[in-house]
Every structure is written in structure tokens, then in C-alpha cells.
Structure 1
Amino acid sequence: MWVLATYGVLPGHQARGIGKRLMDAALRHADGRPGIFSSSVHAGATRRYRLAGFSLHPEMQMVGTVDRSMLPAVHGLQEGRADDFEWMDRLDRDLRLAGHGPDHGYMLDTLRLVVSRDAAKPGYVYIDDRGRASLLAAAHPETAQELLWEALASSQGDTLVNCITTPNEWAIDVGLAARLDIGQEGYIAVRGMPVPAPYLASGHFL
């Protein structure tokens, strides 16, 4: 799998075919492998992505302060460790066709990792120091919802649930129950693969 990390053309040089040549070079590097990235709503960029064969899936986000009276009791979750990475990568491969590999080590150094080690319903979420879910993956929506509730329970003040695609409406249900507001921003672009679910992508590591 491959990820388009950054793509841009200076405004004064747009509409000259530069973006097309850049995308063509990126696709040659991809060599037919599945791809995924997070896209802005820039009209020229999204046109180029679609012409390159990417499916554009609108991303929703939910913002606000959690109504703490709505927090449910969650069960079966534990603090994650480095020895969880092996099964986490297997889960990643099931959901997004490739593991996160060394990304997990970096995230564990900077974020809190919470996991469900239930062999039938595994899942994990990285939570930042403001209680926001930075990356979430699960084998079943029920586990994904419990992991998201755990993140929301640790939120401080306004929070954000980001990168919600239509196949991940389970996250919208959690956000609405927590009294968060829903909006739309950007796209998840995929080529040669489905949109991962149950899954909330990281803006940095997808």
C-alpha cells in the first residue's frame, strides 16, 4: 500500500499541467498498489484525484464538549503495550491491507494506547493528551464504539472526532449520544481498496 503524503502546486503555477505530471509520477511510484490519503476540498486537487482513479468519500467530523452524563460503562479494555503491535498489525492488514509497522512505536511514545485483546473482537485506539481519538481500528463496530467512548471519557473541554466516513456511522452514533455536533470536511481518497471500517484514520498515519 502507499500513501500520498503531500500534494500541491503554487497558485501562480496552477492550470499548467504540473499537477497532472506530479500525480502521474506518484502513480508510477505506486506501481498498481492500493492507495489511501486524506484530501482537502480544493476543487482542482479533487478533480485530479478523481481523474487518477481515486474514489472520494466525504469525511465527517464531530465537535463539541462531551455530555458526561451520557458516558456509558465500558468493559474489557486495557492499556496497550508494545507487545500488542503484532496483532494490531494483523488487524490493520484486515482493515486497510497493510500494517502500520513502525508507526505504532512512534505513536506509543507520544499517545496513550487502549486496546481490546478479545480474540473475537480485537481493537485499539490511540488517544492524545486532550482525549481525542487519533487512530482507531477494530474488528467489530461494538468494540469500536467502546474504544471511542473511552477516548471521549478522557476528553477535556472541546473535543474532536475526525475522519468519519459513511461506512463508519457507528462513530456518528457515539458522537450524537455524547451531544457532539456533526459537520463535513474533506475526503478520504482510496484507490484499489475499500474504505477501512470499523476505522477512524489518523490525519498523519491514515
Structure 2
Amino acid sequence: MTILVVIAKECLPGKVKTRLHPPLSLAQAAELAAASLDDTLRAGSKLPATRRILAFDGIVPPRAAAGYEILPQVAGGLDERLAAIFDHCDEPTVLIGMDTPQVTTALLEPVFTDWTDDVDAWFGLADDGGFWALALAEPDGDLIRGIPMSREDTGARQLDRLRTAGLHVVFLPTLTDVDTIDDAHTVAGIAPGGGFARALAAMLAPSEKGTTR
């Protein structure tokens, strides 16, 4: 029995994926972020979770969140918001973000089917030094609270916190977070059939059409 939580913010221009501007406009960056979130939510909807929660910072959740409980995020830094989510849950919980649209049901399935009694946590590092997934057999916000976020050593510090607490950690594959346009191209190449890749291709098509070789 495992809870799935996706943490996300409403995809509004100027509020999400601003590092994609330029070359994308702020409106396009927001549209691409929405496609990333939709792909993530759809992958999660196929997992055998006991509950599906969208921890949401915003007003209007996306249509792809149908079937997800909406949990408003608390105020504070990202560590405080993540900690509050785990404090809210009372059974094994896996938390993922909205920045890895290449995530698949198969990639996350072991957390739901192979979680044995000797495993205390699952951890998915991101190649920018952060992490994209954290699952705890016994959710406890104090395992996250106080970890400096959005740094090159965030993942290492979080892993050290888990191990210092005596947890047996199993790793999920390392993924690329979409922060820059180069990241977007990389992720679209990994998952060319997803909505994220299609949205990116549509945005780039007009400029490509005007290019002569």
C-alpha cells in the first residue's frame, strides 16, 4: 500500500520554467511546463497507488489531475513544503516532481511492487545534483526539513540525511530535470512520444521553417 504524491505549481507565464526564456517566450515556457506536468500525472495514474495526491501551488489544477486529491502546499521554502507533504501521509509514500516528464509507469512500478520490509526509502537523483523522487516507508518530514534545496549538493545532502537516520536506501535511475532548453531537448529525445516532446516540437517548428540551409 503506497501513496503517490506529485508536487507542482500552476503553470502560469512568468511563474514556471523561466529559464527556458529565451529562446521560448514565457507563455511557451508555461505551456511546456504544463505538458511536463500532464505527462507526469498520466504516468502516475497507471500505478497501483492507494491514494494519488497532487500537492498543488495554485488555483486551477490541470485536467490530467482527475482522480488525484488536491493538497494545497504550505507556505515556506521547498524543504518545508516537502516536509509538510510527508507529515500529511500515514503510509508508505513516494513523492515526485513535475520536471521529469520522461518518467514512466514502469520506472516507478518497483516502488509499488518490490518494496520489501528491509527497504526504508527509495531515492531518485537528478543529474543536476538534486533529486526527482523520494519514497519513505515511514513518512517523516524531519527527514527533509532543513535540507538546502535547488543546489548542486541537494541530492547528496538529502541522501546523507537518510543514511544518517539509519535508513536502507534503494536507488531509482538518475533522470534529467528540465531547467534549460538543452535539458528540454534531451528529455524530448528520451521520451519522443510524450506530450512534452510534441509540445516542444510544435514550438520550435515555426523558427525551423524559416531557416534556410
Query: How does the TM-score come out when normalised to structure 2?
Result: 0.24
Query: How does the TM-score come out when normalised to structure 1?
Result: 0.25
